[in-house]
Amino acid sequence: MRQRFAALLPAAAFAEFDESMCRAGELMGGRTLWHINATLTGGGVAELMNALVPYMQEAGIDCRWTAIESEPAFLDVTKRLHNWLHGFPGDSGPLGQAQRALYDRVIAENAAKLLDEIRPGDVVFVHDPQPAGLVPVLKNHGVHVIWHCHIGTDEPNDFTRQAWRFLLDTVSPADAYIFSRAQYLWEGLDSGKLHVIRPAIDPFTPKNQELTPTEAGDLLRAHWSIPDGVPVILQTGRWDRLKGHADVIQLFAAHIARDHPDVHLLVAGPSADGVADDPEGAEVYAECVALHSDLVPETRTRVHLLRTPMDDMRQTDLIVNALQRRADVVLQMSQAEGFGLVVAEAMWKRRPVVASRVGGIQDQIEPGRSGILIPDPTDGRAFAHAAAGLLRDRERASRLGERAHERVKEHFLSSRLLTELMRLLTSCLDGGRSIAR
């Protein structure tokens, strides 16, 4: 599989990638590499794992990926943690003793099952807050543990600090921490354990593989009725308030629809029950439907809400691929983002992106060169002005798209991510830091 990158990468970059995979495969002989997160379908972590695990297995690593078992009340607590780590109140519910007891109980139930399979000396990547409680249990079991946190905020507030207090003692024992930005390292965590590793996309998955215009058109006709040739603005992502879907609908109605009567807006996300660890999805989608219903008829006919099916992930990914390739301008009006894989996906497809200057998005886009960043994620007028400008100036939009593609090729492909992950894995098992069985 990794040989496919030889034709895509500079020779030196491919050699580095190939060597890192081979070295990790040699050192992992007799051990198992585990990845544990909250869900096997939907969301950025699941998407990363679906792409990365086959490469690790091809390298001879016994790599296994599993999700913890949970319940609705537990997911309410972890969604609260998710929002608070981003600095947002979410449902404004508590994180007190009752929530601590619930969290610990679910973690203990999962640990009892997992420790039947995970052996001392194995290496475990624990992803995000949901399974973070496993870290001390696994350490006590003689396992090397890496906590990979995909979320965070550059400007902590009281909500963020409360979330830290809930999780800090739990994740502190990990042998290493991975964050996508150095600013995400929590107060009280050992900076010597920090590894900044940014997510990436795989160019060969159904979501990112090349599609001809005919292939993309055939995929879309089955799900979306829209005239051929009309300009399209697209925003995609989970039905999460932090993604800003409702804000995009409002900015289109207020600042684009009247002056650009031929432009259509598409807001797309997974089916409401398609992301198992996100209990707010159905509620946020319903809010978007209500906003859509309140639009004046001439605007409503040009605003489209699409829920992609989640029962066939390959088909779903191909649909998203086709949507992104059909878009003339891609928006990402997120209030917060740990990284934002959808931005890298659109950039890879040479789309001009207008996005909030928040979190990991600002590491992907070079302002004015490979996309446009809006400083205030709530400034609908600024987003509308930038999008409309790109629709008018197609040459500029094309230049931004080409530079965006090159930016992703150089910095945000899975070959680079795997190289950095395998280096970290190697450092854990080599140089006197490996754990003897």
- The pLDDT value given to residue 272: 66
Average pLDDT over residues 389-413: 98
- The pLDDT value given to residue 275: 63
**pLDDT (tens digit per residue) in 159-188:** 999 999 999 999 999 999 999 999 999 989
Name all domains of the chain by residue range, CATH numbers in brackets: 2-200+414-429 (3.40.50.2000), 213-411 (3.40.50.2000)
- The pLDDT value given to residue 285: 95
pLDDT band per the 50, 70, 90 thresholds, residue 277: low
- The pLDDT value given to residue 280: 87
**pLDDT (tens digit per residue) in 197-240:** 999 999 999 999 999 989 999 999 887 888 888 999 999 999 99
- The pLDDT value given to residue 276: 62
| Residue predicted with more confidence, 431 or 26 | 26
pLDDT for residue 273 is more than 70: no
**pLDDT (tens digit per residue) in 22-75:** 999 999 999 999 999 999 988 899 999 999 999 999 999 999 999 999 999 999
- What predicted TM-score, i.e. pTM, was given to this entire model? 0.95
- The pLDDT value given to residue 53: 98
pLDDT for residue 156 is more than 70: yes
Average pLDDT over residues 151-162: 93
pLDDT for residue 437 is more than 80: no
Average pLDDT over residues 333-356: 97
- The pLDDT value given to residue 92: 86
- The pLDDT value given to residue 376: 97
pLDDT for residue 83 is more than 70: yes
pLDDT for residue 434 is more than 50: no
- The pLDDT value given to residue 296: 98
Phi, psi of 390 (to 5 degrees): -70, -35
pLDDT band per the 50, 70, 90 thresholds, residue 245: very high
> What is the 3-class SS of the chain, one letter each residue?
CHHHHHHCCCHHHHHHHHHHHHHHHHHCCCCEEEEEECCCCCCHHHHHHHHHHHHHHHCCCEEEEEECCCCHHHHHHHHHHHHHHCCCCCCCCCCCHHHHHHHHHHHHHHHHHHCCCCCCCCEEEEECCCCCCHHHHHHHCCCEEEEECCCCCCCCCHHHHHHHHHHHHHHCCCCEEEECCHHHCCCCCCHHHEEECCCCECCCCCCCCCCCHHHHHHHHHCCCCCCCCCCEEEEECCCCHHHCHHHHHHHHHHHHCCCCCCCEEEEEEECCCCCCCCCCHHHHHHHHHHHHHHCCHHHHCCEEEEEECCCCHHHHHHHHHHHHHHCCEEEECCCCCCCCHHHHHHHHCCCCEEEECCCCHHHHCCECCCEEEECCCCCHHHHHHHHHHHHHCHHHHHHHHHHHHHHHHHHCEHHHHHHHHHHHHHHHHCCCCCCCC
Rounded distance, CA 85 to CA 151, Å? 7
Rounded distance, CA 337 to CA 362, Å? 10
Q: Which long-range contacts (CB under 8 A, 24 or more apart) does 254-259 make?
A: 254/380, 254/381, 254/384, 255/380, 255/381, 255/384, 255/385, 255/388, 256/384, 256/387, 256/388, 257/298, 257/299, 257/302, 259/388
Range with the lowest mean pLDDT among 10-14, 286-290, 307-311? Answer: 307-311
pLDDT for residue 350 is more than 60: yes
Which tokens sit at 336? 């917060």
pLDDT band per the 50, 70, 90 thresholds, residue 433: very low
Report which listed range, 273-287, 352-366, 417-431, is most confident. Answer: 352-366
